[in-house]
Amino acid sequence: MRPTRPRLIVLGLVLGLVAAACGSDSSTTDDSDAVTTTSATSQASTTSTANTGSAANTRSYALVDSGQVTCYDTTAIIDCPAEGEAFFGQDAEYLGNSPSYTNNGDGTITDNVTGLMWQQDPGDRMEYADAAEGLDSFSLAGYDDWRLPTVKELYSLYLGYGTDPLGPDIDETALTPFIDDDHFVFAYGDTSSGFGRLIDSQWATSSIYESTVMGDQECFFGVNFADGRIKCYPTMPGPSQYFTIYVRGSSDYGVNAFSDGGDGTIVDAATGLTWQQHDNGEGVDWETALSYCSTLDLGGSTDWRLPNVKELQSIVDYSRSPDTTDSPAIDALFDTTSITNEAGEADYPFFWSSTTHVGYPTNLTTADYVAFGRALGDLGDGWIDVHGAGAQRSDPKAGDPAAVYDDFGEAQGTMVLDAMRIENYVRCVQG
């Protein structure tokens, strides 16, 4: 358990929203069997408030904070830096909409930030076709308008304080998932057969990749709440099975409302965030990415920062990809530098987030990124798109790019060698 750390920079509007939602009552309140719990930015600290019965944010695409409250350098926990110091501007220093859920006492959970209602228990794993077809006969708590969530809807449940179960001989009880398991039923992969892995907790979505992976395989973008990543998983029948929870509520969630600010910025009215229209133009390490954004002067403002991973994923356009639209997976209003990838193809970069990816037990050397181009891997026959444009993974924060596989390759612990770059691109955010 990590102690709650005060955040140094609080966004005024969001603070007002949180204060209004939380009030001054920190006691658990029962109201017709519904209990609302606001996760106070850490799995170690929660405050309970009375059920207000409404979302904490009225925006159509209200983003839930990652919940990360600890600051890091490239290898260790540090005191959160002040402006101008190294590693200033990371996830833990900015407060968003604190995760807040209401247990409705009927097998459903309401997210008080997004307004979405969720099935609480995914039950047993199932094949992807069964996850989609199960809706035909599904009813819960008197509702029959459930749907399979999009990847943006499901990723709203992601929390950045989880621990990735890297390596052998892991004590499962010492792990923390990347979802609030006080509210949602969660299970790691079953290793008893000798074939399963702890990280096999992939959850299904309706977001089918516009292209294909592994050569010519249809896949959907799913969220793995065991290792804290988004990857594209096979839809075809086979040994792969997935956890599934259905959702109901506004189908506008996850839909952006971009407009060109005319001054090098893009405004998203759905989230309330303003984005840098052009990226930084070159690959840099994580510390440099943080510094670049915290010193950016653009559009008459200097309060730019490196986005957390949930903010960054919010601007992915899953209808676009290098192979189908000859573009990055982002709206055409944005300008994105073209690169040549490990396979020698024209492609688009990975982009840094401000969120550290914590590995078991205390591996703090990587940070999350989102792939706006192909998410390459090597299965032994060369580099191919393995996880899809729009995947969210993690890269080493620092090191020698020429020696990255020698220095970090064994830490991946999977049968696929994922592309690692150390020097990723940057798109800053404001708001």
Contacts of 68 (CB under 8 A, 6+ apart): 41, 91, 92, 160, 161, 308, 355, 356
In a domain, 222, yes or no: no
**Which H helix or E strand runs over 293?**
helix 286-294
First to last CA, the chain: 30
pLDDT tens digits along 281-332:
999 999 999 999 999 999 999 999 999 999 999 999 999 999 999 999 999 9
Tell me if 137 is assigned to some domain.
no
pLDDT (0 to 100) of residue 402: 87
Q: Is residue 404 a part of any domain in this protein?
A: yes
Least trusted range by pLDDT, from 117-121, 152-156, 380-384: 380-384
Does residue 190 lie within any of the structural domains?
A: no
Can you give the pLDDT at residue 55? 39
pTM of the model: 0.88
The residue with tokens 């799995």 is 43
Q: Is residue 313 part of a domain?
A: yes
Question: Is 14 part of any domain?
Answer: no
Per the CB < 8 A criterion, the answer to whether 58 and 85 are in contact is no
pLDDT of residue 57: 60
β pairing state of 376-378 and 417-418: antiparallel
- Gap between the Cα atoms of 60 and 115, Å rounded: 9
Residue 352 lies in a domain: yes
Which of residues 74 and 29 earns the better pLDDT score? 74
**pLDDT of amino acid 169:** 76
What's the domain count of the chain? Answer: 1
Domain membership flag for residue 315:
yes
Range of the structural domain that residue 264 is part of: 258-430
Residue 19's pLDDT band (cuts 50, 70, 90): very low
Average of per-residue pLDDT values in the chain? 87
Residue 115 has pLDDT above 70, yes or no: yes
Cα separations in angstroms, 364 against 7, 166, 215: 19, 12, 33
Cα–Cα dist 351/424, whole Å? 5
pLDDT in tens, 37-84: 655 333 333 322 223 334 346 799 999 999 999 999 999 999 999 999
pLDDT tens string 188-198: 998 877 667 89
